[in-house]
Structure 1
Amino acid sequence: MATLLLTIFMFSIPAKWASVHIGGALIVLALLLSGRSYWSSPPVESYARYTLLWLIPVLGATFAQHLLHLDTATPWGDQLTLMLRVLGVGLGLLLMLHKGWVSVRQLGFIVMGCLLIHGVIGITQWALQPHANLVAWRAIRIEGIVGNPNPFGFYMALGIVLCAALLRDGSATTVARLSIWACAAIFALGILGSGSRGAVITASAGMAVLFPPSTPRRIGFYLAILGSLVLAYLASDWQDANAYSDGTRAEALIFSFEAISQRPLTGWGIESFMRIPGHTGINSPHNMLADLALSSGLITLIAFLIALALLTYRLFLLRTPLSTTLLALLAATCVAGTLEYSVLSSNHFRAPWVLIVALACHALGTAHARDRRAGTAANEIKGAVTS
């Protein structure tokens, strides 16, 4: 039942179906089955620490906005929904891992399978286009059942980073490696068909973590890829297609900075961008950092960056295949967020963020528990020998 629930939940996230809200509510309700050992477990403590570090300032900013009687203040219903979707869903996922209802490997298969189905649907949509070719990369933009080419490309980028991590591990059989390569090809075609430059940058960020440019050979390889992309960009009509998008995003970012300077401590409220006096243009800052500061103030932004830095540092120190994979996915997601999304209000982005952070805390917590058990056993052996 847990596997079925998570499959429905994960598949519904890109399409933003109603089942994603129903599945999220059931995941939160699963917390009613938790026990005392769960709440004192290291993964739960880590997730609560890194999440509440920035959620509490969000809550404080909402209080301040209502005290100041701001017309754009975050509604209390939206505030509660945010807490449940970030804190509740993350803790529910950790409960399923804690109880053994689902393993990290099974969860990986679920995510990979759901992304693969979305990729196949998108590629089929692209193949049916009569003028699909490389030059028309930005003219024909597939979106699958996601409903938007940029989020579709974002999910394909996460898929290809996950494939690269599995191939890097080297423990898979020959058949499994061929299957992973086939999945990677589908995700690469999905990125190409989406026409999303952000997806290319997102995938590149994850790859750079998995395969850092630490040798002359890798540096040359990365430079060759970068040069190929630049040549392809100059040889196509992408510049004209990008001009309007780049201009509107720059205007939105400038307006965001102006709005932040007006209310640097309290912010304006979640999803307030279009209701701020003087607003023109697109509907959001398209940058999760600017959106955090604009919605809930600079204190929230600083707290979020501190939590992110601490989590990243601990993952980096762990140095296991799982922690490296999660570090690459976290880096890719952070890059995508700064290019497009909001961790406060974007349904396309928030759920993957919660999943990756929850899994990261699970990896850190279980490693800490193993080290503690090993230390206890070593002390017992030492005491026995001494006696």
Structure 2
Amino acid sequence: MSNFSASVAPEDLLPDPQPSQPQGWLLGSAALIPVNLAPSLLLAVVGTVQSYGRYWEQIRRDPLLGLAGLLSAAAVATALLGEDWRLSLPGMFNYWPFLLMLPAFGAALADPESRRRLAQVLVLGSGLMLLLGWGEVLWGWQGHLFLGPLWITGVAGGERPAAAFTSPNLLAIYLVIHLCLAAGLWGVTRSRLTRAGLVAMLGLGSLLLLLTASRSGWGAGGLALLIGLVLRRCWWGIALLAGLGLASLAAALDWPGWRAVVPSLIWSRLADTWDPQAPHFSSTANRLDAWRFALQMVRERPLTGWGWQSFPALYNAQDPPELLGHCHNLYLHLAAEGGIPLLLGYLALWGWILARGWRAWRCSQDGLLLGMVLALTAFFAAGIVDVVILDGRLHLLMTLLLGAVWGSSLDPLRGKQNRVPADPFPSQVSQPMPQ
């Protein structure tokens, strides 16, 4: 990364000499994510074409464009070389369109104002998910919502709240991402009324996250909170978080007295982790079977993989049949279906963007940028035990945030006033940028 900074001047990559206003298509796409994927995706596609036309001279100089383009081509090749092209070809659309959108998002979000407006729209839109989720919990909402003949969104109405998603785990990761964004906005907002609204959303969102009973969501949210507390040197918060975690673990292990003070919702879900008799694929023993199966797929076809959507087809064809849509590990899933080279390409792309984002935050100390980087860190950490990227809304949301973090390394204000130092991780920032 440091060689890239030295060889390419920041002004060579900037889309505009002055901060631009947020793109309407991008904000519209972000606003419609909780409502319906189709119009949101359509706006993103139209805006991607527009953004390439406007920023092409700047986009093409960034090495990340080449990596994203190579990965999109690899996603198409995986579909064509798959064991069953009738499954693999439709499954390809879970991947390559988002790879093509990513550079356009990065160029359109290369100034702080655009990133702030994006975060505002996303957090405001999450209010619909909160409403639907709490409607499930408090009033038993279930079914689809229509506006005339058009289907708008739906409510799962299961035992655990899932709002407009098909699984509580999807809602949990969605909430974790928006809690990180809301916390980042709270840190850069001066309006008392806005801060009060953000505090309300943080409280309602955190409690709904707890009620989803999603261990991957709890873990991802706890990790993001821990990193944030460490970076802010909030030692009492770290101690409190550690105490809550240890108490929950003690109750799950049935240490005397702890189950009387820890809510059963928490310790029962944690206890399922090592209970091989736990239903609904809740036990780690069940997930280990899926991971072993995915590893066997990787060993048999390490270079090209078996093709998109091949894991559920092969896993569910076992005798006796199993019912599982993915292997509950994002990285094994990509390796099994797309091959090891494609997995390494994804890891390089995501890691490069996150490294540039962390470096940009160290230079600017921008609280909102920190919230975005923490949201992505939590998302990829959750990938160790889940594959939420297969949901189009979450994949689009992740791509928007990756684009925003990518754009932060092309920040025109920072490029003029605070050039990236030779050391990408300076020990201290003597003159942080004003918020």
- Say if 1:124 and 1:36 are closer, same or farther in 2 by CA, change over 3 A: closer
- Say if 1:187 and 1:46 are closer, same or farther in 2 by CA, change over 3 A: farther
Contact 1:163–1:184 (CA under 8 A) maintained in structure 2 = yes
SS at match of 1:143: coil
1:238 aligned to 246, 250, 269, which one? 269
> In proportion to residue count, which structure has more helix?
1
TM score, norm. by length of structure 2: 0.71
How far apart in 2 are the matches of 1:12 and 1:36? 24
- 1:154 match: 173
What is the total number of aligned residue pairs between the two structures?
354
- Say if 1:127 and 1:72 are closer, same or farther in 2 by CA, change over 3 A: same
Contact 1:116–1:187 (CA under 8 A) maintained in structure 2 = no
Deviations 1:211-262 (A, max 9, x none): 2275754542332121233255452243566523224322211211111111
Deviations 1:287-326 (A, max 9, x none): 1101110111011111222222222222222223143222
Q: Does 1:38 align with 2:82?
A: no
Deviation for aligned residue 1:71: 2.7
- 1:51 match: 68
1:257 aligned to 295, 300, 306, which one? 295
Q: Does 1:199 align with 2:237?
A: no
- 1:380 match: none
TM score, norm. by length of structure 1: 0.78
How far apart in 1 are the matches of 2:355 and 2:106? 21
Give 1:276-287 correspondences, 5 Å limit: 276=314, 279=318, 280-281=321-322, 282-287=324-329
AA partner of residue 68 (structure 2): T
1:275 aligned to 289, 306, 313, which one? 313
Deviation for aligned residue 1:185: 0.6
Deviation for aligned residue 1:50: 4.8
Contact 1:7–1:114 (CA under 8 A) maintained in structure 2 = no
AA partner of residue 211 (structure 2): G
- Give the gaps of 5 or more residues in structure 1: 130-138, 376-387
How far apart in 2 are the matches of 1:35 and 1:290? 33
CA-based RMSD: 3.4
SS at match of 1:284: coil
- 2:422 match: none
How far apart in 1 are the matches of 2:227 and 2:61? 26
Deviations 1:36-81 (A, max 9, x none): 6511225983652452353343344445x26xxx335764455367
Contact 1:257–1:290 (CA under 8 A) maintained in structure 2 = yes
2:286 aligned to 234, 237, 248, which one? 248
- 1:385 match: none
Deviation for aligned residue 1:4: 7.1
Deviation for aligned residue 1:21: 2.5
How far apart in 1 are the matches of 2:238 and 2:271? 31
How far apart in 1 are the matches of 2:298 and 2:52? 43
Contact 1:72–1:268 (CA under 8 A) maintained in structure 2 = no
Deviations 1:71-128 (A, max 9, x none): 357644553673223313x34545654799x822221111001112211221132123
How far apart in 2 are the matches of 1:93 and 1:165? 20
- Identity in percent: 18
Deviation for aligned residue 1:274: 2.3
How far apart in 2 are the matches of 1:239 and 1:310? 34
